[in-house]
Amino acid sequence: MTRNLTPFLRPLLLSATFALAALAVAPGCSSDSDGGGSGGAAGTGGAGGGGSACTPTAAECYLDGTAGPGAACLARHDNTGQPTVQLRVSQMAVDSPTVLASPFMQDAIITKKVNFNQPTCNQNGNGQFNILLEFDPASKELTVGTAVPHALIGSGTDPKADGACFTTATDPGSGIQIEPVKAIATVDGQKITASFDRLVLPVYLEDKDSNYVLLPLNKVVLSFTLSEDSNCVGRYKTESLQPETSCAPPLGEFAWENGGTLDAYITAVEAESVQVVSLGQTLCVVLSGDSAKWGGTPGYACDVNDPSKLCKGCAYADVNLGTNGQPKPAGELVYPDGDWCAATNAAATATCKDAFHLVTGIAASAIRINPTCD
């Protein structure tokens, strides 16, 4: 599986843990995303990878061993016979924008944020981007939300025992309500598809529930295929992992076979509100792919702990500066061309190119979603 993910209305800070320094924009490749294809059928609930040297053996990696429910995707919960299907996204494999799909961005940032911190399970992440899915087969209602960093849940070390819970809070800077969002899904066999007008998801920068950036996604279409036992979306590909590199996948490949897709867009204006501290740029500049043109003069305080650290933003590009050296009024600002049009939610045209299309393949594994976060 070769391959060719991501924050709103107030200046938001991406810390060094969201390390983008040395960003290399790579040509896009395709991921194993499920446009109806391979991932869903692959996760049948049995063990994946067979006798691979990289098949985890630790008890904490499975609900009930390598042949137990959901073992193919390292599920920590059994949805069999339950009133709802509860899942956590275990992989986001970005197809576009290509600047976010580069190997450095994908491997060192996105994958690390999503993966648990469980080295015995070949998971060497920090569990700070936890997207939760809960599907009610009776009402066909799909709920999407996020959880706080896993280190703050229960013992903070055992997803099987700790489970997860939906975050509900009000962002103090913008007043945005952070909460799970519901939609009625269409169901075709084991395939679930739902649309959301908007999802604002917190990506935590460290193991604190107050330090995050908000990822604003518009016109979200989420589609995934459940395994036969409803414990997996896609599977964990132990047979493709490399023992000589601590069971990491080969460069340019993924550890998971996707079983779904997430499709949305981010506007350039919203991307300007996101501060990428380690690059010294706003997300708008990063997505432009041309920091020389759009980086401009540093004008935003990147780090609340050190106001002397300034970020370059699209508003401070030469084209947007007035005679006083400061950005022109908001209505006169121009932004880099995106590949998407927000008004039509379609590919950019000569007259509408104000957004960036986000397409990412996903895999997911069963986890218990607790009714409260107490």
Reply yes or no on whether the pLDDT at 331 is more than 90. Answer: yes
Average pLDDT over residues 335-354: 98
Average pLDDT over residues 197-201: 94
- For the four alpha carbons of 133, 45, 241 and 122, in that order, the dihedral sign comes to positive
pLDDT in tens, 231-252: 999 999 999 999 999 899 988 8
For residues 121-146, one letter each, b for 16 or more C-beta atoms within 10 angstroms of the residue's C-beta and e for the rest, the string is bbbebbbbbbbbbbbebeeeebbbbb
Residue 301 belongs to some domain of the structure: no
Domain hosting residue 154, numbered range: 12-268+358-366
More confident position, 206 or 275: 206
Reply yes or no on whether the pLDDT at 328 is more than 80. Answer: yes
User: Would you list the DSSP string of 240-307?
Assistant: G-BGGGTTBPPTTB-SEE--EEEEEEEEHHHHHTEEEGGGTEEHHHHHHT-HHHH--SEEEEEETTEE
Long-range own/partner contacts, residues 107-112 (CB < 8 A, 24 or more apart): 108/19, 109/18, 109/19, 109/20, 110/5, 110/6, 111/255
Average pLDDT, the chain: 85
Instruction: Please give the share of the chain, as a percent, with pLDDT higher than 90.
Output: 65
Residue 274 belongs to some domain of the structure: no
Reply yes or no on whether the pLDDT at 3 is more than 70. Answer: no
Residue 341 belongs to some domain of the structure: no
Residue 190 belongs to some domain of the structure: yes
Give dist(CA 110, CA 95) in Å, integer.
Answer: 13
pLDDT of res. 51? 60
User: Phi, psi at residue 288, to the nearest 5°?
Assistant: -65, -30
Distance of CA 12 to the CA centre of its chain: 17
- Amino acid identity, position 1: M
- Amino acid identity, position 323: T
Average pLDDT over residues 77-102: 95
User: Phi, psi at residue 236, to the nearest 5°?
Assistant: -90, 120
- For the four alpha carbons of 185, 188, 191 and 195, in that order, the dihedral sign comes to negative
Residue 289 belongs to some domain of the structure: no
pLDDT band at 11 (very low <50, low <70, confident <90, very high): very low
Give the bridge partners for 301, in sequence order.
310
Residue 230 belongs to some domain of the structure: yes
pLDDT band at 18 (very low <50, low <70, confident <90, very high): very low
Lowest mean pLDDT among 77-86, 99-108, 130-139, 219-228: 99-108
Average pLDDT over residues 8-33: 36
pLDDT in tens, 21-72: 333 333 333 344 444 333 333 334 444 445 689 999 999 999 999 999 999 9
pLDDT band at 270 (very low <50, low <70, confident <90, very high): very high
Distance of CA 140 to the CA centre of its chain: 24
Lowest mean pLDDT among 4-13, 60-69, 73-82, 103-112: 4-13
Give dist(CA 356, CA 94) in Å, integer.
Answer: 13
Residue 185 tokens, joined = 């899904």
Average pLDDT over residues 341-351: 98
Contact 80, 229 (CB under 8 A): yes
Residue 345 belongs to some domain of the structure: no
Residue 275 belongs to some domain of the structure: no
pLDDT in tens, 273-321: 877 776 788 889 989 999 999 998 999 887 766 778 889 999 999 999 9
- For the four alpha carbons of 204, 210, 216 and 222, in that order, the dihedral sign comes to positive
More confident position, 163 or 103: 163
pLDDT of res. 25? 32
Please tell me the total count of domains within the chain.
Answer: 1
